[in-house]
Structure 1
Amino acid sequence: MAATKENFKRLPIWMMGFVFVFFALVGLAVLAPDSTPWHVLGPVGSFIQNTIKNDPARIQEMPFRILGIHTAETAIAFFITLWKDISGPARLKWLLQTFVFGIFSLLPLIVFKPAVEKKVK
């Protein structure tokens, strides 16, 4: 039998949390800009509230821009996994993780060194 090692590295929880908080803030800014207590978030909330008031079109476009950027990053991840000869479930995990977490997953994929199968005689 060939000894194989998983060619996938999961992101740390803190990175995942950071992305989910960012997505939540974007969602609140788009869906409930007036009913969200932005003052509780300090300078970040003030910045978001100021952007909502002064440039509402940018806020409304933001989910589509995020989707486009993450789709492009996933396409890049696909070609990187081809280049590094990562296939099967590991490739699917990398692509899904890159689609959800974006650059936080793409950069570790770029520096990732895949495991090499050792053949037992």
Structure 2
Amino acid sequence: MLVDKVSGAYFRRISLFWIACITLSFGYYTLLMFWPQSIPYQSLGPLGIFSKYLMDNYYTHLYFGYWLAWGLHLAEALYSIKVCSDKGITNVNAQFKWVFQTFLFGIASLWCLWSYEPQKKDK
């Protein structure tokens, strides 16, 4: 998981569990927003019934929520730049990886970044 243990180039990929959960959730949400006719609501059981209800009655709320979620991911990605700086991660490649991962996976990535404790330098 660790690409480099040097504090200036630290990066850690989030777990496959979070990658799968967030990718599937956002993928489903994207289908709901832009291709709702492609979803087999009846085959999805309670999730399909609930999704169809929300689409029929609260589409505008879902639409704004979709873009709000992407906006929050963008804000988290920008915030990760500051956290990288605060943690002493100065390598541009590592910073880019953190920003990109945080944009895609949000708080799951930030959690990994927040938990990183750089080694103290001896004086």
Q: 2:101 aligned with 1:97, yes or no?
A: yes
Higher relative contact order (CA 8 A, sep 6+): 1
- Looking at secondary structure, tell me which structure has more helix per residue: 2
- Structure 2: gaps spanning 5 or more residues: none
TM-score w.r.t. the length of structure 2 is 0.82
Q: Partners of 2:29 and 2:114 in 1: how far apart?
A: 27
Q: Partners of 1:62 and 1:69 in 2: how far apart?
A: 10
Q: 2:110 aligned with 1:71, yes or no?
A: no
Q: Partners of 1:92 and 1:115 in 2: how far apart?
A: 21
Aligned residues: 116
In the TM superposition, 1:28-67 aligns within 5 A as: 28-67=31-70
59-68 vs 88-97, which moves further:
59-68
63-72 vs 34-43, which moves further:
34-43
Per-residue deviation at 1:35?
A: 3.2
Per-residue deviation at 1:75?
A: 1.8
TM-score w.r.t. the length of structure 1 is 0.83
Per-residue deviation at 1:83?
A: 0.5
Alignment root-mean-square deviation, CA: 2.1
